[in-house]
Structure 1
Amino acid sequence: MMLRTLTPLSRSAGTGITSRAPKTTFTPSNFVRFNATAADYSQSPKNAFQIKMRNVGISAHIDSGKTTLTERILFYTGRINQIHEVKGKDQVGATMDFMDLEREKGITIQSAATYASWGDHRINIIDTPGHVDFTIEVERALRVLDGAVLVMCGVSGVQSQTITVDRQMRRYSVPRLVFINKLDRAGGDPIKVTEQLKKRLGLNATLINIPMGKESNLHGVIDLIHQKGYLFEGNNGEEITEINIPEDYQAAMKKYRGIMLDNLAMANDEIAEMLMEEQVPTGEQLEAAIRKSTLNHTFTPVLTGSALKNVGVQKLLDAVVKYLPNPMESVNTALNLSMGEKPVQLISDAAAPFVGLAFKLEETKFGQLTYMRAYSGTLTRADSLYNVPEDKKVRVPRLVRMHAQSMEDISEIKAGDICGVFGMDCATGTTFTAGQRINMTSMHVPEPVLSLSISTDKKGDTSTGPLGKALAKFQKEDPTFRVHTDVQSGETIISGMGELHLEIYVERIRREYGVKVNVGQPQVAYKETIQSKANYNYLHKKQTGGSGQYAKVIGYLEPIPFEGDKINNEFVNATTGNNIPPNYIPACQKGFQEISAKGPLLDMPLTGVRMVLEDGQTHPVDSSELAFRTATINAFRENFENCDPVILEPIMKVEIQIPTEFQGNVMGMLTKRKGVIDSTEQGTTDYTTIIAEVPLAQMFGYSTELRSATQGKGEFSMEYRRHDQVSPEIQMKLVENHKKKKAAEAK
């Protein structure tokens, strides 16, 4: 065996871009060159740095090893000098999990940004949470990133949140690499995981390296492209040794290299032609084809290793540089507000007018920190920007580059880069420009599925005291965290994506604001809808002396299709003539919107309801906007029962991993909770994965029950799938309980 020790790549930390560009004054009419192409700018000295830049997110199902992988990346690139584990014995914790709650629970709660240098490339990295309750962190990170690394557990394979992350990557057309992690564990099988990626996610997923050694004997990887082996030695795997492939691995190398060539030929015509002509592609030709196909989403490179055992991470960094796009290769779309929201494509040009998107907010001791992605132009400290949604100018007093919780002041950022900005009051998703009236396309924000009442013993704390400040801050930071006051009870209600999501915010209120809060029972986010059509003809008439109230409305209610978690209601004005003057129509629509927010059955939002106004009547003296708004509300309430109303409840997709010996017992527990089993899958070890659909209302307390039934070995995750109709018995019980609650509150 011939050995050759490689010279380790430089582990010097990256530096911020501090060169200043000439200041240019832009007017609203001076737009970005929307019709230009990347080739027009690639030779510009101002854009040369973008070729060497990568914006990458690390995403996966919970407990797949994302944060451990990021810790190794920071070590090998020289951003940190010592490795710490997520739940390390030294009580320090991983660099990117800097919140106390993250270190205590051993999970990522907030996405964290950093940057590093690998060779002559700079990589902006965002480490995202894996728990479904914090999916908005993944959503907004992928909205602004050019590429991603999908981390897979080599034992568990494709899991529920893997599917969610895949859907998010597709939503924003983010090319990805896959890193199969934890292959040092018993049952780790990269072949099985790759097959799951093909079957369950529909990816042309293909191994471009395979592990050397199995489970506890894992010690290196084999590069199928260049047909070389790599050993990772030293205390932390920092010493890489290139070797000729040992005889024991020759057969496996030839087999999986052949599969790689076949899959690549399906995605790349040039490789297909070479293979048909029996030519052997060079390593450089294969790398060029893989890069092109990865950017076109027709090929997904899969790499293997173990972050915890320091195997394969440097080869992943090489792949990030080789196969993921630079900012100039990403397609970014904006809406030109001056042209009726016409979609336009932005080119990542540092010389063009500035366009940036605020994708994440964080409250710090220095004030609001706004994470911003620059899509076009150059932003210099002390510049003024145009806040497009609020139609106002703001000044930029401070720019920083983030490294987890620490920061470095910089003087400017250019198109394609990511930075932090202080001193700008804005909301998540705000577009900032140099004056152009263009808006970046929005990100997807899922609707909350669970609510809790929250209160404090101190008067004034709910709205104006520390509790009020905390709730206002969290709402601003997290679009999936909602707060409202119940009109009947006066209770403050917080809503979110799940029990853990709300539990974390309650604990943050206690720790960060020192407020002792009382938490009520969880409330499911039910919805109300109708199943049939019904006509209405309602007269609202009230006379109490002086000007009275008079309004008559005629029309019908009917069901319309509703889309998942989106509230989809319609008010249709089908009146003819002037029986209802045009100035009263908005009042009718306002009345419908008011009743849509709190339906007649449970005071829950309506979905899938259309209210059509066909005719009506007015009084020359007593008609008013208030009268028509009231008439519309009462007409709806009076006829709602004639439309076969039903209550919809959130149905969750639940994925449970348990030792196979407990399978029968756990499936019986799910059936008692009105769950429907979708599938069961036997793992490579003695573990079984059960996937089921269960109503959210039936999942309270399930964690304790599962642990008890599996001797503490079972775990589960769940995510929202859809709203579905409850049974008539449950609907009757819900309505009765709601009436009793309102009656008790009225006393």
Structure 2
Amino acid sequence: MNDCSLLRLNLTLISPSLSYSIDSIKTKLKANPVLLQIPIGSGKSFTGLVDLITRQKITWQGSSLAYDGRAFETSALQASDDPDVLQAASEARTTLIEQVADLDDDFAELLLGQYSENFDAVPAGKLQEAVRRVTLTRKGVPVLCGSSLKNKGVQPLLDAITAYLPAPNERNHDLVRWYKDDLCALAFKVVHDKQRGPLVFVRIYSGSMKAQSAVYNINRNGTERMSRLLLPFADQQIEIPSLSAGNIALTVGLKQTVTGDTIVSSKASAAAAVRRAEKEAESKSSSHRESSSLALAGVEVPEPVFFCSIEPPTLAKQADLEHALNCLQREDPSLKVRTDPDSGQTILCGMGELHIEIIHDRIKREYNIETHLGPLQVAYRETILQSATATDTLDRTLGDKRHVVTVELDVRALRESSTSCDVTFEEEVKTQLSADVKEAVENGVQSAYLQGPVLGFPVQGVKTVIQHVRLEPGTSAAMVSACVSRCMLKALKLAGGQVLEPVMALEVTVGEEYLSPVLADLSQRRGTVCDIQSRQENKVLLATVPLAEMMVSLSLKILR
């Protein structure tokens, strides 16, 4: 995990297994869980938890529908308590002490020195300090228990955040260090307000942010003026003059900033950070690598897998629909909107059926536009199976001007996991071509990537190498791009195209008596069974299924 974090287990599920939850954290999140609490009861009988560090019992007694989890009792474990709870707490605390000792050398020395005869006698304060060191060094992730339904366990969770997670000045982020005391913040959410316009949530990593000040957006390469600065408290905001590092602010007036953008105080501040990064670098290669990534890591959004057309009720509402879609795209980076070049329709691209349904509902509810959605379709891709070389010459006369260009290029398949497409030039070609011609060549290649040779789907996993470009004087950039696109189509056909179908990783938990019908249903959906595991009294089926076969959710017999 990239950041220090806390994990909280929800124990209101039916017959949850603590050990299974811990194992899931290890296998699915690739983290090293450090269990700090054990539950008292589970499911509907979950009433409290035991803090393994302090050996205290925390209980919530409310059971009515109006109970909000605010009232709770804290008491030390007594010999008169449930023997099973006492034994479980003792074993879990011993495991915790041994685990922390394996991860923290200072704590291990303390145990072997002062508490070698009785590990359980180690003070709670020493154990808590060791857990914090383990968290800060990212060797382990504290895990706590709770219930979201009745807010049980919320108070210990908040205490754990302040006890174990790092303060802003304890983070060793190279990028933030280069900015020193200058502003460096990350825009992580955008919300549109009808009266105030776009409201941008930012996390301040260094320096301070002030109202009525100009800030520089590294990703957009532009300066914007912030009119107001607000401190958010749930659904309330308090206007403030400034805010320092470590806080989350709500800004008003940043009209170009989107989710994932990095905001600094000025362009000069960004340039100074570049100089510091280059100064610290030990070689030219590392200097280039570091100085090219002065933006904070934003949100990594995969390509959409579903798309459908969206139309307004009348042409008079088209401009309003475009405005609504622009606002929603700023809020949601996973939403893509494009125009179909053949039909002129507006195409909505999202991550799933539910995602597109939510967007459709928000347009109706927040922007008062009754839109019509076309049939939902899966976003297929194309790639090539082998390398191929092609040459093409375009000779065309427009008016009294003759345009002649010859292109030779090579297409190669990238590794299977690659979802991008690259274009490079041979060294000799790169030095001969002007910047305008190179841009025209790249535009032609990118245009060819949009429609594959098999069924016209976008191409991925292909690398194009421009080997030769020759053009007569006066040949326009548009003709160069057209020739390159035509040559690309030839090469892609020669390389042997293949359609790629998105698949869904599926995990189905069923009783053993329903396993056969589920397997039959998956077979009808062209699914591939990867594994069948046992989990308590149930069977867990792991499979991959083509996304097109999952357009309609699994039948009720599977869900049951």
The residue number in structure 1 matching 2:236 is 406
Q: Would you say the 8 A contact 1:331–1:345 is kept in 2?
A: no
Q: 1:259 to 1:582 in 2, by over 3 A?
A: closer
CA contact (8 A) 1:660 1:688 kept: yes
Residues in 1 aligned to 2:327 and 2:436: alpha-carbon distance in whole angstroms: 39
Q: CA shift at 1:203, angstroms?
A: 3.0
Contact kept, 8 Å, 1:232 with 1:310, in 2: the verdict is: no
- Corresponding residue for 1:375? 205
Give ranges in structure 2 of 5+ residues lacking alignment: 274-293
CA distance in 2, matches of 1:181, 1:231: 16
SS state at 1:325 partner:
coil
3-state secondary structure, aligned to 2:420? coil
- Is the 2:335–2:350 Cα contact (8 Å) retained in structure 1? yes
> Deviation at 1:375?
1.6
| In 1: Cα distance, 2:431 partner to 2:327 partner | 48
Q: Does 1:706 align with 2:555?
A: yes
Deviation string for 1:118-177 (max 9, x for gaps)?
Answer: xxxxxxxxxxxxxxxxxxxxxxxxxxxxxxxxxxxxxxxxxxxxxxxxxxxx2xx21222
Give the secondary structure class of the aligned counterpart of 2:203: strand
Name the CA distance, whole Å, in 1 between partners of 2:187 and 2:215.
Answer: 12
For residues 471-523 of structure 1, give each alpha carbon's deviation from its aligned partner in whole angstroms, at most 9, with x where no partner exists: 11111211111111111111111111111111100111122222222211222
After TM superposition, the score normalised by the length of structure 1 is 0.65
Deviations 1:388-421 (A, max 9, x none): 3444443322111223433222222111110101
Q: Any conservation in 1 of the 2:32–2:141 contact (CA below 8 Å)?
A: yes
Tell me the equivalent position of 1:265. 101
CA distance, structure 2, for counterparts of residue 588 and residue 192 of structure 1: 55
Distance in 1 between the 2:25 and 2:220 partners?
43
Aligned to 1:602: 455
CA contact (8 A) 1:552 1:631 kept: yes
SS at match of 2:455: coil
CA distance in 2, matches of 1:388, 1:577: 29
The answer as to 2:54 corresponding to 1:213 is no
Contact 1:386 1:434 in 2 (8 A): yes
2:211 aligned with 1:358: no
> Which residue is 1:47 aligned to?
none
Matched, 1:477 2:313: no
Q: Does 1:509 align with 2:363?
A: yes
**CA 1:192/1:390 → structure 2, altered by over 3 Å: closer, same or farther?**
closer
User: Which structure has more RCO (C-alpha within 8 Å, separation ≥ 6)?
Assistant: 1
Residue 317 of structure 2 is matched in structure 1 by 461
Is residue 618 of structure 1 aligned with residue 447 of structure 2? no
Kindly report the root-mean-square deviation, in angstroms, between the aligned alpha carbons of the 2 structures: 2.6
Moved more, 372-381 or 478-487: 372-381
Superposed displacement of residue 214, structure 1? 4.4
Change (3 A) 1:576 1:289: closer
Q: CA deviation at 1:468?
A: 1.1
- Given that 1:580 and 1:617 are in contact with CA atoms closer than 8 Å, whether structure 2 keeps it comes out as no
Which amino acid in structure 1 is aligned with residue 384 of structure 2?
I
Residue 92 of structure 2 is aligned to residue 256 of structure 1: yes
Provide TM-score, normalisation by structure 2: 0.86
- Find the counterpart in structure 2 of residue 225 from structure 1: 53
Contact 1:651 1:696 (8 Å CA) reproduced:
yes
Q: 2:541 maps to which residue?
A: 690
Q: Specify the alignment match of 2:216 in structure 1.
A: 386
1:360 shift after superposition: 1.4
Q: Secondary structure at the match of 2:188?
A: strand
Query: Residues of 2 paired with 1:697 and 1:603: CA distance?
Result: 18
1:525-674 correspondence runs (5 A): 525-543=379-397, 545-561=399-415, 563-564=417-418, 566-575=419-428, 584-620=437-473, 623-674=475-526
Do the aligned residues in 2 keep the contact of 1:451 with 1:495 (CA within 8 Å)?
yes
- Cα-to-partner distance string for 1:241-271 (whole Å, 9 max, x where unaligned): 3133325133222211111111111111122
Residue number in structure 2 paired with 1:297: 138
Amino acid at match of 1:651: V
Q: After superposition, where does 1:106-117 map in structure 2 within 5 Å? A: none
- Cα 1:584/1:368, change in 2 over 3 Å: closer
Q: CA deviation at 1:590?
A: 1.9
Residues 414 and 461, structure 2, Cα contact 8 Å, conserved in 1:
yes
- Partners of 1:558 and 1:244 in 2: CA distance: 67
Query: Counterparts of 1:186 and 1:639 in 2: how far apart (Å)?
Result: 57
2:255 is equivalent to residue 425 of structure 1 = yes
Partner residue in 1 for 2:288: none
- Opposite residue 295 of structure 2, the aligned amino acid is M
Q: Cα deviation per residue 1:279-326 (whole Å; 9 max; x = unaligned)? A: 542111000000110121212222223333454332222222211122
Shift in Å, 1:603: 3.0
User: 1: CA distance between counterparts of 2:473 and 2:175?
Assistant: 49
Partners of 2:165 and 2:430 lie apart in 1 by 61
SS at match of 1:638: helix
Q: Give distance in 2, aligned partners of 1:289 and 1:268.
A: 7
CA distance in 2, matches of 1:490, 1:577: 37
Deviation at 1:595, TM superposition (A): 1.0
Q: What's the CA shift for 1:198?
A: 3.1
User: SS at the partner of 1:584?
Assistant: helix
Q: 1:214 to 1:489 in 2, by over 3 A?
A: closer
- 1:450 corresponds to: 306
- 2 CA distance for matches of 1:213 and 1:288? 29
How many pairs are equivalent?
Answer: 520
Deviation per residue, 1:668-692 (Å, 9 max, x gap): 21121111122334444x5543322
Shift of 1:660: 4.2
Structure 1 residues 681, 404: CA separation in 2 closer, same or farther (over 3 Å shift)? Answer: farther
SS where residue 191 of structure 1 aligns? Answer: helix
CA distance in 2 between counterparts of 1:198 and 1:540 reads: 58
1:241 aligns with 2:74: yes
Give the residue type in structure 2 aligned to 1:613.
I
Separation in structure 2 between the aligned mates of residue 202 and residue 689 of structure 1, nearest angstrom: 20
Shift of 1:556: 2.6
Structure 2 CA distance, aligned partners of 1:177 and 1:282? Answer: 23
User: 591-600 or 215-224, which moves further after superposition?
Assistant: 215-224
- Look up the equivalent residue of 2:41 and give its one-letter code: G
SS in 1 for 2:448: helix
1:387–1:217 Cα change, 3 Å: closer
The superposition leaves residues 217-236 of structure 1 with CA deviations (integer Å, 9 ceiling, x where unpaired) of 33222222222323334554
Q: Deviations over 1:620-658 (max 9, x none)?
A: 56x332332221111122332211111112222123344
Distance 2:510 2:82 in 1: 39
Percent identity over the alignment is 28
Contact 1:666 1:706 in 2 (8 A): no
Q: Secondary structure at the match of 2:521?
A: helix
Rate the CA distance shift 1:389–1:218 in 2: closer, same or farther, 3 A: closer
CA distance in 1, matches of 2:45, 2:308: 49
Taking the aligned partners of 2:551 and 2:498, their CA distance within structure 1 comes to: 23
Cα drift, residue 530 of structure 1: 1.2
Taking structure 1 as reference, are residues 583 and 484 closer, same or farther at Cα in structure 2, changes over 3 Å only?
closer
User: Over residues 410-466 of structure 1, what are the superposed CA-to-partner deviations in whole Å (9 max), with x where a residue is unaligned?
Assistant: 22211111010111212223332222125432322221111111112411533x2x2
Letter in 2 for 1:535: T
CA distance in 2: counterparts of 1:362 and 1:223, whole angstroms: 39
| Alignment correspondent of 1:487 | 341
Query: Secondary structure of the equivalent of 2:53?
Result: coil
Aligned residue number for residue 434 of structure 1: 265
Check conservation: 1:557, 1:643, Cα contact below 8 A. yes
Q: Which residue of 2 aligns with 1:175?
A: 4
Q: For residues 309 and 583 of structure 1, what CA distance do their matches in structure 2 show?
A: 64
